[in-house]
């Protein structure tokens, strides 16, 4: 076969790859691995009839978080079975979708102090904090975040030992159309937390954070990177910047440094829970000085 003249051969087209500057430097970028929930993680699609939890250690306070995707619907699916079984001292509920502070017999009986952040828009967003302890102060909304949903996304309870910031974070939305709003959210939240951390207060930021900044905390990371809301370079980098500015850390990851595929959210499409394909969107970010069990 005759050797082809290089000048007569058209250059081979390269497959185009979209790469942003932020993507290139983001430590959250996927390595190519795909994680699913390990065998020991329950695959149930409803709250089990029998629930058992370890007893809290002497002198410890237990705080739990749950995105309930509507108080009304979760109530019908066994909300109180879980709440009663865990018997946490403080509960942060996100995406409550209530239009007024509810008169809920079960929650009222367990928690004397109840606070509901409610949106102006009917049936939208919502965050609540239920506590057995009386806070020194309560603040609704996120200063500096000029958005109608602010009051329904951040609820702060100040106690003598900690400042609890319960949140239902902004979602960047389908097609990342709300990314600009999400970036404004991060900027305002970072500054807000610094009002406390700069004074040496022990801050616990908890709830549905709507961001995953480690590929071990979601399934199909390579396919979702820079496409799915919650797993983009912009969001991951902003989240890391917020933590660094406030000397905060992911409490769950500190306690479980090597675990992968342990999720808090499963999409309703494609039988995700049964397949073990999910996201760890809900967590606790705490100041490095906060004592963990």
Euclidean distance between CA atoms 177 and 113, whole angstroms = 37
Mean pLDDT, range 252-270, rounded to an integer? 95
- The number of CA neighbours under 13 Å toward the Cβ of 10 is 3
pLDDT tens-digit readout, 154-167: 999 999 999 999 99
Q: Which residue has the higher pLDDT, 64 or 6?
A: 64
Helix (H, G, I), strand (E, B) or coil at 131: strand
Tokens 């929650």 belong to which residue? 107
Cβ neighbours for 42, distance < 8 A, ≥ 6 positions apart? 48
Listed by start position, the domains of the chain span 58-143, 169-293
pLDDT tens-digit readout, 217-254: 999 999 999 999 999 999 999 999 999 999 999 999 99
The answer to whether the CB of 130 falls within 8 A of the CB of 114 is yes
pLDDT tens-digit readout, 105-147: 999 999 999 999 999 999 999 999 999 999 999 999 999 999 9
List active site positions: 168, 208
Q: Which uninterrupted H or E stretch holds 196?
A: helix 179-197
pTM (global) more than 0.85: yes
Please provide the CATH number assigned to the domain covering 169-293. 3.60.10.10
Question: Residues within the annotated binding site?
Answer: 67, 95, 208, 210
Question: Residues within the annotated binding site for Mg(2+)?
Answer: 67, 95, 208, 210
What pLDDT shows up at residue 284?
Answer: 98
């Amino acid at each position: 076969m005759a050797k082809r003249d290089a000048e007569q051969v058209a250059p081979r087209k390269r497959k185009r790859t979209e790469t942003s500057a932020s993507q290139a430097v983001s430590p959250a970028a996927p390595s190519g691995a795909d994680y699913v929930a390990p065998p020991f993680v329950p695959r149930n699609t409803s709250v089990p009839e029998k629930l058992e939890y370890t007893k809290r250690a002497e002198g410890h306070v237990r705080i739990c978080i749950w995105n309930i995707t509507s108080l009304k619907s979760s109530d019908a699916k066994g909300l109180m079975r879980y709440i009663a079984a865990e018997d946490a001292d403080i509960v942060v509920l996100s995406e409550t979708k209530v239009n007024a502070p509810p008169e809920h017999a079960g929650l009222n009986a367990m928690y004397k102090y109840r606070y509901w952040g409610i949106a102006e828009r009917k049936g939208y967003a919502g965050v609540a904090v239920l506590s057995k302890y009386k806070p020194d102060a309560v603040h609704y909304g996120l200063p500096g975040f000029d958005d109608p949903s602010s009051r329904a996304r951040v609820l702060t309870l100040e106690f003598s030992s900690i400042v609890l910031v319960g949140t239902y974070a902004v979602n960047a939305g389908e097609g990342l159309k709300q990314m600009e709003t999400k970036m404004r959210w991060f900027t305002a939240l970072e500054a807000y937390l610094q009002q406390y951390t700069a004074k040496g207060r022990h801050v616990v930021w908890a709830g549905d954070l709507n961001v995953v900044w480690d590929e071990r905390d979601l399934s199909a990371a390579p396919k979702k990177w820079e496409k799915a809301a919650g797993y983009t370079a912009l969001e991951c980098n902003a989240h890391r910047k917020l933590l660094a500015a406030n000397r905060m850390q992911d409490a769950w990851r500190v306690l479980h440094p090597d675990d992968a595929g342990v999720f808090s959210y499963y999409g309703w499409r494609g039988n995700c829970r049964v397949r073990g394909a999910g996201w760890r969107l809900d967590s606790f970010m705490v100041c490095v000085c906060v004592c963990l069990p």
